Amino acid sequence: MFALLQRTPILKLNESNSATMDTFALVIIIGVLAILGIWIAFVGTKATAKPGSYSKGTFRKKAKKLKLSKTQIRLLETVIAEMKFANPVRALENSSTLDKLLRQMMTHLEEQELSAEEKEFRKSIIYGIKQTIEANSEQAKIISSTLSLPINTEVKIRGSDGTTYVSYITSNMQSMIGMEVPGGQNQENAHPWPKGEELSIMFIRGGTDVYAYKTKVLGYKNVRGVLSVFTEHGKNLKQIQKRHAKRKKIGRPAVLYLVNIVETKVKRKLVRQAVVNKSRNLLGSMQDISAGGCAILAQNVVPKGSLVQVDFETVRGRPVTVYGKVRGITPNPPRRKTIHVQFTNVSRKNMNAIRDFVYEYDI
Residue 317 domain flag: yes
Residues 202 and 227 occupy one common structural domain: yes
Q: What is the pTM of this model?
A: 0.66
Asked which of 183, 214, 242 is the last residue of a domain, the reply is 242
Residue 230 domain flag: yes
Residue 238 domain flag: yes
Q: Which residues pair with 198 in a beta bridge?
A: 216
Residues 238 and 258 occupy one common structural domain: no
In whole angstroms, give the CA distance from residue 329 to residue 298: 10
* Tally of structural domains, the chain: 3
What is the domain range of residue 60?
Answer: 56-136
Closest CA to 296 of 338, 332, 335, 329: 338
Residues 62 and 97 occupy one common structural domain: yes
Strands 336-345 and 319-332: antiparallel
Asked which of 242, 273, 308 is the last residue of a domain, the reply is 242
- pLDDT tens for the chain, 363 residues long, are 334 334 444 444 355 555 555 666 666 777 666 665 555 554 444 444 455 557 888 899 999 999 999 999 998 998 888 888 888 888 898 888 899 999 988 988 888 899 999 999 999 999 999 989 888 876 556 778 899 899 988 899 988 888 888 889 999 999 999 999 986 554 455 788 999 999 999 998 877 778 889 999 999 999 988 899 999 999 878 777 666 788 888 989 999 999 998 888 777 788 888 889 988 889 999 999 999 999 999 988 889 999 999 999 998 889 999 999 999 888 876 678 899 999 999 999 999 999 999 998 865
Residues 252 and 355 occupy one common structural domain: yes
Closest CA to 131 of 90, 99, 86, 100: 99
Residue 24 domain flag: no
Residue 169 domain flag: yes
